[in-house]
Structure 1
Amino acid sequence: MSTGWIVLGVIVVLAFLAFGAYNRLVALSQRVGQAFADIDVQLKQRHDLIPNLVETVKGYAAHERGTLDDVVKARNTALSAQGPAQVSAAEAQLSGALGRLIALSEAYPDLKANANFQQLQSELSDIENKLAASRRFFNNAVQEYNTGIQQMPAVLFAGMLGFTRKDFFDLGENRVQMDQAPAVKF
């Protein structure tokens, strides 16, 4: 009779461990989803700002059509990207194109002095700072989640319950550039 109670006790303890591990993994997974949604909000603001920036530059540097087209094309690619891997690759391209667009202001003093351009450039810098913070929060959430599915006792249940490793928001070669906010010069 006591062996039956011991077996039952072990089963109950394992069940509590499984429920606890499952609930913790669900919470960590939700945190990753919320963190990516935060990045998405910042990216939407960035994408909404880009047409205004392009139009402002177009008025002063209309013959720089290639740079303007690159920005528009990169924005459209970024808008259609899905998932952290595609979004990070598309955003890296967009950041490069935006960097070239901002660099045009050095060649056009009238553009550089334009109040609208200065305001848009300042807003872009602010959004880039918020994006950097959101990426750090997302990558931290992914790290905690990935660690959570590899720790005991969750590792025993994670695969069976459908919890798989998540990807970081990787900026690839542009990581150094993206970790620094764009300089706003007046």
Structure 2
Amino acid sequence: MTAMEIVIAVVVALVLLPLLSVVVMYNRFVRQRTLIDSSWGGVDVELTRRHELIPNLVATVQGYAAHEKDVLAALAAAREAASAHKADAPGPRQALEEQVTRQLATVLARVEAYPELKASTNFLQLQTELTNTEDRIAAARRFYNLNVGAYNTRVATIPSNLVASIWNFEPRDFFEITDAAVRQVPRVAP
């Protein structure tokens, strides 16, 4: 190889390596963004599952505890408000889902006063389903937040923050429970 060929090879390498690095960083952002969107879909599926169980719970409790109408109406209203914002991102939806969890916990706490309801097969099945759903929501939320954390770290660190700013890769919102009272999964003792 001549000296001129070596200089040309070095110049080409100096131009191609940064360009290749930018392409790799961009593609990684796209993969992470897609993973975040997919994991948010998993959270949404579990929240929707909970929303679908709530009318069954309300109907079952109403049969045994008709005078708990206000508590059941509050749960139904919270569910309807959250369901109306299904397509929303985590930020706007967070407070609505916290309200559903809070109202659900209130209904389940009131059930303790009704031994015949606690013994109902339908109610016991709903309790089990709600407990499983709450566990699945927590797992889906952890997976989503893990992906958001990795993505947000890349958006904020050098040199990938340069690629993020050029192609408008913005940090994403976590889906966190901010109300301390709601942080506890509703206790549903069979």
- Tell me the residue number matched to 2:112: 106
Q: Deviations over 1:49-100 (max 9, x none)?
A: 0000000001111111110110011001111221101222111000000001
1:59 aligns with 2:63: yes
What amino acid sits opposite 1:11 in the alignment?
A: V
Normalised to the residue count of structure 2, the TM-score between the two structures is: 0.90
Number of positions where the alignment pairs a residue of Structure 1 with one of Structure 2: 184
Query: Any stretches of 5+ residues in structure 1 without a counterpart?
Result: none
- Tell me the residue number matched to 2:160: 154
What amino acid sits opposite 2:63 in the alignment?
A: G
Secondary structure of the equivalent of 2:144?
Answer: helix
Query: Any stretches of 5+ residues in structure 2 without a counterpart?
Result: none
Cα-Cα RMSD: 1.6
- Tell me the residue number matched to 2:146: 140
Larger Rg: 2
Q: How does 1:1-186 map to 2 (within 5 A)?
A: 6-81=10-85, 82-174=88-180, 177-178=182-183, 180-186=184-190
What amino acid sits opposite 1:23 in the alignment?
A: N
Q: How far did 1:37 drift?
A: 0.4
Q: How far did 1:107 drift?
A: 1.1
The separation in 2 between residues aligned to 1:100 and 1:117, in whole angstroms, is 15
Secondary structure of the equivalent of 2:52?
Answer: helix
What amino acid sits opposite 1:149 in the alignment?
A: V
